[in-house]
Structure formats: C-alpha cells, structure tokens
Chains A and B, each alone.
Chain A
Amino acid sequence: MSTMEPVLTVDGLRTHLFTRWGTTRAVDGVSFTLHRGETLGIVGESGSGKSMLALSLVRLTPEPAARILAGSVVLDGTDLLTLSEKRMRKLRGSAISMILQDPHQSLNPVFTVGNQLAEAVHVHRPELAAAAVRERVLDGLRKVRMPAPERRLRDYPHELSGGMKQRIVGAMAISADPRVLIADEPTTALDVTTQQRYLRLLREIQRETGVAIILITHDFGVVAEACDRVAVMYAGRIVEQGPVREIFDRPRHPYTRALLDSRPRRDVRLDRLPSIEGSPPSLVDPPPGCRFAPRCRLAAERCTAEYPELTAVAPGHETACWRWEEVS
C-alpha cells in the first residue's frame, strides 16, 4: 500500500526536560521516515519518551520544562522546527494533526461538540461561511462513521460514550485533510471491541485519504493489527525498526524480543504475565553504553561501554544492538 514517497522525515531529534531533579533526556536522537499512506507504529513502555516524541513533532512540548535541542522534522520539504510559531500553528491540525490518548479528557466539557468541531474547521478556513463550516463538520463526522451526525452537534461531550468521543476527536483531526496523523495511544482508554472498531476506522480513513499515520502504543497487539512498520523505543531512542512482519518473526534486539515474549497468549493465564526483569533506566543520567544493557541477558563488556548505532540487518530492518546476531 505504501508508495514509498516520504512525507515526514525526522532526523536526530533531541528533546530534553529541564526539571528541578535534573535534565531528562526524553527524546535522545530519534530518526525515522514516514511514507505516504503508511502506518508507523511506535512502541515502548511508559516513560520511553514516545509521547514526548509525538509532542515534539507538533512542537507542543510542555513549557517551560521541555526544550527541543536538536534535529529536524521535515514535512513535505519544510523543517517544522525552524518555522515561526505563527506558521507552525497554521500547520497544526491542517498538515499534521493528532489524536490524544483519553477521549474523556480531550474534549472541552463546557462547549458543545459542534462548537469544538466547527472551530477546528474555521481556524484553517476563516473565509468559509457558517453553513459551509457546518457542512464540512458533518462531512467529517460521516467520515468517522458517526451515526446521526446532525444530532451530535448540540451534544456536550459528557453525553457521549468514550468510543463516540474518540470518533469526534478523529473527525476533528482529519477535518482539514492533514498529511500526517499522530495517534497517541488512541485506543488505550476504550474497551476491547471499541478498540478494534476504532483501529479499523483509522485504516479505512487512511485508505480513503492517503494520510500517513504514526500510531503510538505500548501494545504489540495494536501494532500487529494496524501498522505497516514499527519502531521500538527504549529510553528515548529507537532501538529497532522495520516492517511489522519482519520484526515479529525475526526481532533483532533483545528488548524487542522481551516485549514480544511478554505478550500474553491465549493459552497462558493472564495473571501470570511474564515480564522483563529490572526497570528502565532513569533518563536523568543514562548509562554510557546501550541503555538496555543492565536488563539484557546478552549484555557483554562492549554493551556497557559503547552505544550501538542503528544498523541495517535486512532490507528496511535496522537494530541498535552489538549482538543482534545472537537474538533469535
């Protein structure tokens, strides 16, 4: 499905958080390319920096603690990090938009759904008359398969279910035909059947509009269901990336391997989840070598001394591990 036409190219992105406890290297040199019409999954544990990465792409990292220090985010030939805030703002929601994790929190409780949807249209197309805005809003709601869209406009968010709210957020995100859609754990707060329906919906929207999707998740099941390629993040860096099938079949990083192993299977009882021993390193003072080394079974001397850069191990498959050949 992907035509291998790059839409978004991220190179050497570095976002640090400056807090009173020290500097946290939340995103520490991340590079990847997103192609037209494809879905890239970004997988990691909480605290791996994946949400900070998402916010960095749209330049909405929490102020004043976070600062984007280096790198480039090139969308259709424009480096977003060099734009003025005014120009960046015009791209948000129109060229690059985002769906947040919790639909119950992402809509403003004191405005109607219609008001919030219309606003998203109006801000990018101020010349449109009210009727035209309304038409576009309804069109967006139809795109996300909202039943009886006219009736939803006057509802307040608390009158809708989680799945409906998340559809509305989705309608908002695609209302200006963005090139890139970032979905930050869009289904985590939903129940299982709604989750699946929502992921299918994203796929359908992609097929219709050709939007490139970055799907951030901690759940390899979601990756299997909805992504073409996947990048695994650990402690602020991408440690492995490649086509989904390839990564599932032949993981070349011990961390990916451990993540895949820790997925519950149908035949294993849920209360005995296997897990990776140890905890992710503090991002305040990361170890000099591979950041996974302290928890890695394969760790050798070199692993704690020198950081392994991403290297190609198969077409489109890269890993950052000194001993990738031994990961089976």
Chain B
Amino acid sequence: MTTALSLPQVRRGGRRGPRMLWQRRRLPWLPLAIIAFVLVLPALLAPLITVHDPLRGVLGDRLLPPVWQDGGTWTYPLGTDKQGRDVLTRLVYGARISLLVSTAAIVVGALVGTTLGLVAGYFGGFVDKVIGWLVDTFQSLPMVLFALVVVAAIGPSFVTIIAIISATIWAVFARLVRGETLSVRESAYVARARVAGASAPRILLRHVLPNVANSLVVMATLQVGVVILEEASLSFIGAGIPRPQPSWGIMVADGREQLLSSWWLSFFPGVAILVVVLSLNLVGDWLRDYLDPKLRQQV
C-alpha cells in the first residue's frame, strides 16, 4: 500500500543558483534615491551645501514666499520664516537632526533590546520572566505622556529625546531577539557548542547572534521611519529637540502660527518627513521580503 514513487521533483523555471542581492528582486531605486538626497547627503554635507545660517536669519527678509510665488527670490528657494531664516537651509540641517536622533536611538534601543532578548531567550526561567515583565511594562507605558513628563522634569535636549525614544523601542527588539533565540537555542549546533564547553556569552555571540542578525537588520530598518516620525511628533509638541534647532517637527509647529499667510513654513518640512519616512518604509519592506520573509506578519 505504501507504494510511493521515488521520482525526482519537477523543477520549475530553470536553473536555481545563489543569486546576488540585485538580481533577486529589483532594488527600490526611487526610495533609495530619496533617502540619499533628502536625508543622508544633506545630513552629512549640511555646511557645505548651504549658504545661509540655519539659526540666525536676516530680519529684512522675513516671511518671503518660495521662488515661484510673487515676491519669491532664488536666494531663498523655499522662502523664509518669520525670523528671516532660509527654509531650505533649515530643512537641510533638519535632516541632520533626524538622522542623528534616529541612528542613535536605534543603536541604543537595539543594543539594549538585543542583549536583554538574548539573555531572556537563552537562559529562560526566572530571568526570562523578569525581562518579559519589563517588556510588558514598557509596551504599556503611554509614550507621549512619558515623554512629556521626562522633558518637564529634566528639560529638552538631544540626549533626553534619544533616551526617550530608545526607551520606547528597545522592547520591540527584545521581543524579536528573544523569540529567535528560543528557536536557535534548541538547534543542534548550539547543543554541540554547549557540549564542547563553550561559555554562555561565547555561545550567544558566536552562534546565536549571527542567526538573529538578518531579522535585526530588517527590524532596525523598519524602525528608522517610526523613530523619525516619533522625534518629529515629540519635537512638534515641545517634548523633543529644543528650539531653535531646526527639527522638522519644530519647523511644522512654528509655521502653524503663520498658516494663513505663509503656508510654506509648515508645508515643506512635513513633505520632507513624509517622503523620507515613506521611502524608509518601502526600503524596509523590500529588505524584509529579501532577508526575512517570516517577519511579514509583524508590523
């Protein structure tokens, strides 16, 4: 009865070999270009590519419209704000803040989260319970309120905002890494390393971490957009970057008062956030499909 045929399977679509990143799926060129030209390059080259001062304006040139409107000038392509500061220059320096804050917050959050996740997943038991409790706690904290209180208590600064955002995202990494560690822990090669007498830190770093690296990279990429939005929102309500730094969120907030007369003040920084975050999400999705399709179910 169990006469199964032992015939080779049909191979579809010809040769299957290891393919390179750029062959497997088309790279998302447009989003990558937007990230490069709106976020990364301006952030790195800000002083080189701007002629105006981002913090001090020319009082005689207040509230000038963008170049294509009546009264606009090429000196200020996207207009000026009520202190006579060039909007484009501030946008370029704003990219710096977005990139700096998001990178720092994600590095800190990922480091803390990964460490705790590895420890929880590897040791299990009581340690796992305690870390799980911390994760629950931080994921149940009302974050905006938390940020408002912290800023009210110790004042706004770069360090404060990075700390706040790290505190809000580490739990995501911890959850992810814990889950992956649990599955890796049971695998044969980790068992072999254990038998060979490798120490826990060594097993975690040499055997477990490389296995969760892909998921980590994907998660970190997906979080960049989230963090940029978070920074902008907190800055917008005054619980983020201190004035007069040109955070995109602050620029939107300041422009709000002149919404009736000078729409460009709020409009452009918002567009910058939108296109950058949108591109980051597209690249993150692409990277996830490429590196780690099983993450798809999670947000």
Contact = CB atoms under 8 A, between A and B. Distances in A.
B1 A262 contact: no
B10 A273 contact: no
A225 interface: yes
Interface string B1-35: 11111111111111000000000000000000000
Contact of A47 (B3, B4, B6, B9): B9
A218 interface: yes
Nearest to A275: B6
Contacts of B14: 21, 282, 284
A262 B9 contact: no
A284 B13 contact: yes
A89 interface: no
Taking residues whose C-beta sits less than 8 angstroms from the other chain, chain A's interface range is: 20 to 34
A259 B5 contact: yes
Nearest to A21: B13
Contacts of B9: 46-47, 279
Interface string A198-225: 0000000000000000000011111001
A222 B1 CA distance: 7
Contacts of B4: 218-219
Contacts of B11: 279, 282
A195 B1 contact: yes
B6 to A, nearest CB: 4
A282 B7 contact: no
A45 interface: yes
A144 interface: no
A124 interface: no
A69 interface: no
B26 to A, nearest CB: 12
A225 B7 contact: no
A195 B9 CA distance: 24
B3 A282 contact: no
A284 B10 CA distance: 11
A85 to B, nearest CB: 29
A196 interface: yes
B5 A192 contact: no
B5 A196 contact: no
Contact of A282 (B2, B5, B8, B12): B12
A272 to B, nearest CB: 10
A24 B7 CA distance: 20
A46 B10 contact: yes
A54 interface: no
Contacts of A192: 1-2
A169 interface: no
A45 B10 contact: yes
Nearest to B10: A47
Nearest to B4: A219
A47 B7 CA distance: 11
A195 B5 CA distance: 17
B62 to A, nearest CB: 56
A24 B10 CA distance: 12
Contacts of B5: 45, 218-219, 259, 262-263, 275
Contacts of B10: 45-48, 279-280, 282-283
Contacts of A47: 9-10, 12
Contact of B8 (A22, A259, A279): A279
Contacts of A221: 1-3
B3 A196 contact: no
Contact of B7 (A19, A220, A275): A275
Interface in A1-39: 19, 21-22, 24
Nearest to A259: B5
Interface in B14-65: 14
Given A195-B1, A221-B1, A24 B12 contact: yes
Contacts of B7: 45, 262, 275-276, 279-280
A37 B243 CA distance: 85
B1 A264 contact: no
30 contacts: A19-B13, A21-B13, A45-B10, A47-B10, A48-B10, A192-B2, A195-B1, A196-B1, A218-B4, A218-B5, A219-B4, A219-B5, A221-B2, A221-B3, A225-B1, A259-B5, A262-B6, A263-B5, A264-B2, A275-B5, A276-B7, A279-B7, A279-B9, A279-B10, A282-B13, A282-B14, A283-B12, A284-B12, A284-B13, A284-B14
Nearest first, the 10 closest Cβ-Cβ pairs linking A and B are A47-B10, A21-B13, A221-B3, A279-B8, A273-B6, A263-B3, A275-B6, A45-B7, A280-B10, A221-B1
Interface of A: 19, 21-22, 24, 45-48, 192, 195-196, 218-222, 225, 259, 262-264, 273, 275-276, 278-280, 282-284
Given A275-B7, A276-B7, 17 more contacts: A21-B12, A21-B13, A21-B14, A22-B13, A24-B12, A45-B10, A46-B10, A192-B2, A196-B1, A220-B3, A263-B5, A264-B3, A273-B6, A275-B5, A279-B7, A282-B14, A284-B12
Interface of B: 1-14
